[in-house]
């Protein structure tokens, strides 16, 4: 074994467990070995390393462009919220205070009032909104911010999925009528978030409304997107709330309408977080590591040149040309020309990191005017003529994007089972799946499920009414809603 | 007076003081009335409103593209730093601890160890660096993050210029040799920051090194850019530090070099902040409000249609066409077609907000195939043929950008006076200017200036050696350095 090989072997690139056998250990290894995140000495907080942060930047780019096109503008509000302000809306404070990190001192001085590190920014923002909104001319007010938030949870932390500090965007809008606020929260859920998750992240979701118990503290209602992970647990991918007039009343946000009458505004808030990176890892990864959907991958194609001393110069020159032609075709491409690593090592590394396409080019390929193209998700090696490479690579990326979503849809379908009775429901939950039930809408039935199975009502799907005569799967009374029930992250 | 006029008058758009007469009050009014920032109930913290945040986004876009082109990658580290970690580098802790905001509780529990809200991220980042850097193959490590930081200063806060929380980018790099670190810190200062400030923000600066007393706590040396505001006070626009091996030793960051020897790394760190927005306001604003350099303006041209009932439709249609042609020429353009406000009100509002170009178009203009073009900085109205508008607007923007920098250079020159003796130095400082002196490099002379005049040594300019035989302006001994001295923000 050469020195290079020995070093490469010691670096332990490979994932040592199968995804299907130990998802939790597999997830931890992928995150560490693909250099997505790392632990720090702050319990429950982690570093987003360059590869993960670049995925986040792609998510940001997509959402930011979409919401700006809809008229939203970005702002930045202070991260600190005085305790008295946080406590202004009763349900809200109850929901968040148990997880608040408190600043009590500055330098050597004790502060007169404790400051919450924002768990979400409704209260600090709406204090300003009450100053800014005066007239119907000021509406709608459509603001958003990209920032960090802190929720000091005491459950077991898990990189991306549950960390005490995370990154997100939070949109906060103000409208003249309930209808405008309804429309805003639905536009964000369906036209921005759902498209992001299905078309860019290639993850199938269930979208709909949360139950009263599960809605955002202080909201009129919450709409949500729920994905289902390979272990059958639901993962909330993002939410959009119609806040009604709850905060508007607590913060006195009113406007003089065209009819000269003073009215109370209607509001929405909505957000997606770095948790989405965790969902991508879980949803698409395999035993070799990460698999990135082409539209969200920081690098879509990596060229690995096969280098021998004699032909090195020629091969690198050709590889440069290939890179240029792919970049010109709009494919973000990296040429891995590192001398200190073997081609085999590079194959493993880029598979681990989930780059959608690998292009191998050696001296014989150049002679034959061809390259080897490998799609990360299916692993099949195909020979491609150099003359049609850009076109074929683009096609491969499009097909991969499409097939990842199809696979995700299939996996989602397989994880859902209809339960008509409580015993069925329990069996489904016990077998790590999602139960689809009819429900009487009584919160006692909801609480019974939670207490006895550990599962919660995840989402009441849009546009799906209960069948005539359907009974609640828990109590047997007349059902009013269809609802998906499952354990969750 | 019509209802509309009455409302508009009451809104009090105008700035009620002259910039030259009361800079501080002028600054406060511009920030409030141009809707750049607003105060909050958290003392010393403010909201960045959409107009200011959009300027920040333009600064981000420029810096982010530049540093990525140089090979840097973005990351995100936790905002919290355990007290023991913050205290690992002795000079660093001394510099920052008096201004740290401390998290002591989470929910209802007291934390075992206090957490600092990051005042800067050296310590939390370098703990990870010591794990990540193993071999020469891992170098250079070129990372950056965009985030919020907190420095709980007890001096009088001032929006953008001095707030307890602010936004910035912080680059943190690791190198094999001192020369590599020297080169990195200089590349950032000269090729990234100086170009940003001179070419984009159109602000003239003095760049060079900080004295030992004024350098970043824990650095080997600090390079800086200093602008001089209209009141003669220096404003530090950004810094780039060669950290030497101070942190590397405290955090044990070493690598196995090609010669199989274990060596200690060399590091740099560097940052620019939302303070730059304050500098733009101060540097270019006038009695009518903000004046934005075209390259950094969120909107470069605003079209104000002159609307009468009879010709409204026709004028708006033409205004739309003009907007399209300007956008196609790469000029970011806003058409202000609001019905509820008069043209005169709109003129004032966009002047206040500093939009570089105003284009007025009314029914007579359309007949004559022309528009009225007004440059925000000089206010002159010129008639432009519609056929050449895009070209002429582009030229006007270029000229404005250039002339703003020229004006800033002239203003900088006028604010600097050479002092050969201590009395001269004192007189210059008393007359609100910057003194250029020769200095013996003894910190006693530096401290004497600070104690007796309140001014500090701002920067020792690059490439300017003391003249042969020059004497220190304070003690009269042989001088070693040229240095600019002044009061500062």
Query: CB-based contacts of A318: which residues, under 8 Å, 6+ apart?
Result: A305, A361, A366
> Judged by CB atoms within 8 Å, which residues 40-59 of B form the interface with A?
40-42, 45-50, 53-54, 56-57
Whole-number mean pLDDT of chain A?
A: 96
Cβ proximity of B434 and B455 under 8 Å: no
3-state secondary structure B427-489: HHHHCCCEEEEEECCCHHHHHHHHHHHCCEEEEEECCCCCCCCCECCCCCCECCEEEEEECEC
Residues of A in contact with B40 (CB under 8 A): 77-78, 124, 127-128
Q: Does A101 reach chain B within 8 Å, measured CB to CB? A: yes
Q: Does B403 reach chain A within 8 Å, measured CB to CB? A: no
Predicted pLDDT at B68: 98
Predicted pLDDT at A12: 62
Taking the C-alpha atoms of residue A479 and residue A445, their distance in angstroms, rounded to an integer, is 11
Taking the C-alpha atoms of residue A380 and residue A402, their distance in angstroms, rounded to an integer, is 17
A interface mutation test: which of B4, B36, B42 has the most A CBs within 10 A?
B42
Predicted pLDDT at A155: 83
Share of chain A above pLDDT 70, in %: 97
Strands B80-82 and B109-117: antiparallel
pLDDT in tens, A422-447: 999 999 999 999 999 999 999 999 99
Query: CB-based contacts of A128: which residues, under 8 Å, 6+ apart?
Result: A77, B38, B40, B47
> What's the pTM?
0.96
State which residue of chain A sits closest to B11, comparing Cα positions.
A134
Task: Determine the distance from the C-alpha atom of residue B256 to the mean position of all C-alpha atoms in its chain, rounded to a whole number.
Answer: 39
Q: Does B105 reach chain A within 8 Å, measured CB to CB? A: yes
- Cβ B101–A98 below 8 Å, yes or no? no
Taking the C-alpha atoms of residue A151 and residue A99, their distance in angstroms, rounded to an integer, is 5
Predicted pLDDT at B8: 63
Tell me which H or E stretch contains A232. Answer: none
Cβ proximity of B208 and B459 under 8 Å: yes
Residues of A in contact with B167 (CB under 8 A): 76
pLDDT in tens, A31-66: 999 999 999 999 999 999 999 999 999 999 999 999
CA distance A285 to chain B (A): 22
Token pair for A227: 């994905």
Tell me which H or E stretch contains B236. Answer: strand B234-244
**DSSP 8-state code for residue A300:** S
The beta strands (E) that lie in B98-220 are given as: 101-106, 109-117, 141-150, 165-175, 206-209
- Cβ A78–B154 below 8 Å, yes or no? no
pLDDT in tens, A62-99: 999 999 999 999 999 999 999 999 998 888 888 888 99
CA distance A88 to chain B (A): 13
CA distance A76 to chain B (A): 5
Other Cβ atoms closer than 10 A to B21: 9
Q: How big is chain A, counted in residues?
A: 489
Q: Give the residue ranges of chain B where pLDDT is below 70.
A: 1-13
- Bridge partners of A264, per DSSP, are A254
Q: Does A99 reach chain B within 8 Å, measured CB to CB? A: yes
Predicted pLDDT at B300: 98
Q: What are phi and psi of B281, to 5 degrees?
A: -60, -55
A interface mutation test: which of B4, B68, B76, B138 has the most A CBs within 10 A?
B76
- Cβ B73–A85 below 8 Å, yes or no? no
Token pair for A395: 């096609």
State which residue of chain B sits closest to A126, comparing Cα positions.
B40
What value does the mean pLDDT take over residues A387-395? 97
Cβ proximity of B262 and B256 under 8 Å: yes
pLDDT in tens, A212-252: 999 999 999 999 999 999 999 999 999 999 999 999 999 99
State which residue of chain B sits closest to A117, comparing Cα positions.
B103
Share of chain A above pLDDT 90, in %: 93
Closest CA to B112 of B141, B139, B82: B82
- Bridge partners of B201, per DSSP, are none
Token pair for B447: 């401290």
CA distance A324 to chain B (A): 16
Q: Does A462 reach chain B within 8 Å, measured CB to CB? A: no
Residues of A in contact with B124 (CB under 8 A): 40, 42
Q: Does A5 reach chain B within 8 Å, measured CB to CB? A: no
Residue A74: which of B45, B53, B124 has the nearest Cβ?
A: B53
Taking the C-alpha atoms of residue B47 and residue B60, their distance in angstroms, rounded to an integer, is 18
Residues of A in contact with B115 (CB under 8 A): 42, 101
Taking the C-alpha atoms of residue A399 and residue A286, their distance in angstroms, rounded to an integer, is 18
Predicted pLDDT at A91: 82
pLDDT in tens, B302-343: 999 999 999 999 999 999 999 999 999 999 999 999 998 999
- Cβ B154–A40 below 8 Å, yes or no? no
By three-state DSSP, how is residue B243 classified?
strand
Predicted pLDDT at A333: 98
CA atoms lying within 13 Å on the CB side of residue A158: 21
Closest CA to B461 of B442, B482, B440, B480: B482
What value does the mean pLDDT take over residues A345-363? 97
CA atoms lying within 13 Å on the CB side of residue B124: 28
- Cβ A57–B77 below 8 Å, yes or no? no
Predicted pLDDT at B14: 86
Q: Which domains does chain A have, with CATH numbers?
A: 23-284 (3.30.930.10), 301-402 (3.40.50.800), 416-486 (3.30.110.30)
Closest CA to B484 of B464, B460, B468: B460
Predicted pLDDT at B7: 62
Residues of B in contact with A114 (CB under 8 A): 105
3-state secondary structure B301-322: EEEEECCCCCCHHHHHHHHHHH
**DSSP 8-state code for residue A191:** I
- Bridge partners of A148, per DSSP, are A167
Q: Does A152 reach chain B within 8 Å, measured CB to CB? A: yes
Tell me which H or E stretch contains B264. Answer: strand B262-264
Cβ proximity of A228 and A415 under 8 Å: yes
Q: Does B256 reach chain A within 8 Å, measured CB to CB? A: no
CA distance A123 to chain B (A): 11
Query: Residue B342: exposed, middle, or buried by beta-carbon count in 10 A (0-12, 13-18, 19+)?
Result: middle
Taking the C-alpha atoms of residue A58 and residue A54, their distance in angstroms, rounded to an integer, is 6
Q: Which region, left, alpha or beta, applies to residue A42 given φ > 0 means left and ψ of -120 to 50 means alpha?
A: beta
């Amino acid at each position: 074994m050469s020195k290079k090989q020995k070093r490469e072997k010691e670096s332990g690139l490979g994932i040592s467990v199968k995804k299907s056998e130990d998802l939790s250990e597999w997830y931890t290894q992928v995150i560490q070995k693909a250099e997505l995140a790392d632990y720090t000495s702050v319990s429950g907080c982690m570093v987003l390393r360059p590869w993960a942060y670049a995925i986040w930047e792609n998510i940001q780019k997509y959402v930011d462009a979409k919401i700006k096109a809809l008229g939203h503008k970005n702002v930045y509000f202070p991260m600190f919220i005085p305790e008295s302000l946080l406590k202004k809306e009763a349900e809200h404070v109850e929901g968040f205070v148990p997880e608040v990190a408190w600043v009590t001192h500055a330098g050597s001085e004790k502060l007169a009032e404790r400051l919450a590190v924002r768990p979400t920014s409704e209260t600090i923002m709406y204090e300003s909104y009450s100053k800014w909104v005066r007239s119907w001319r000021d509406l709608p007010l459509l603001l958003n911010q990209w920032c960090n938030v802190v929720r000091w949870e005491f459950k077991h932390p898990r990189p991306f999925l549950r960390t005490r500090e995370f990154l997100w965007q939070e949109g906060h809008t103000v409208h003249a009528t309930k209808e405008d606020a309804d429309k805003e929260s639905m536009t964000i859920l369906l036209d921005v978030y759902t498209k992001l998750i299905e078309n860019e992240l290639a993850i199938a979701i269930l979208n709909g409304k949360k139950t009263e118990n599960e809605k955002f503290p202080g909201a009129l209602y919450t709409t949500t997107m729920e994905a289902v992970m390979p272990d059958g647990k639901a993962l909330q991918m993002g939410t959009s709330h119609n806040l009604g007039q709850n905060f508007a009343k607590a913060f006195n946000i009113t406007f003089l309408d065209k009819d000269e009458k003073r009215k109370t505004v209607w509001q929405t808030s909505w957000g997606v977080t770095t948790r989405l990176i965790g969902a991508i890892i879980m949803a698409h990864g395999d035993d070799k590591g990460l698999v990135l959907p082409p539209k969200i991958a920081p690098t879509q194609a990596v060229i690995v040149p096969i280098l021998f001393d004699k032909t090195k110069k020629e091969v690198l020159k050709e590889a440069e040309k290939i890179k240029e032609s792919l970049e010109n075709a709009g494919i973000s491409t990296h040429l891995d020309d590192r001398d200190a690593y073997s081609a085999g090592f590079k194959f493993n590394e880029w598979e681990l990191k989930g780059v959608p396409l690998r292009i191998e080019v050696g001296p014989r390929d150049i002679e034959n005017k061809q390259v080897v193209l490998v799609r990360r998700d299916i692993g099949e090696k195909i020979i491609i003529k150099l003359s049609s490479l850009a076109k074929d690579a683009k096609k491969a990326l499009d097909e991969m994007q499409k097939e990842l979503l199809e696979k995700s849809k299939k996996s989602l379908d397989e994880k859902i089972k209809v339960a008509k009775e409580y015993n069925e429901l329990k069996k489904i939950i016990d077998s790590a799946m999602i139960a689809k039930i009819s429900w009487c809408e009584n919160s006692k039935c909801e609480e019974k499920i939670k207490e006895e199975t550990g599962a919660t009502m995840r989402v009441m799907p849009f546009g799906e009414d209960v069948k005539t005569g359907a009974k609640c799967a828990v109590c047997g009374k007349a059902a009013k809603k269809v609802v998906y029930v499952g354990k969750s992250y």
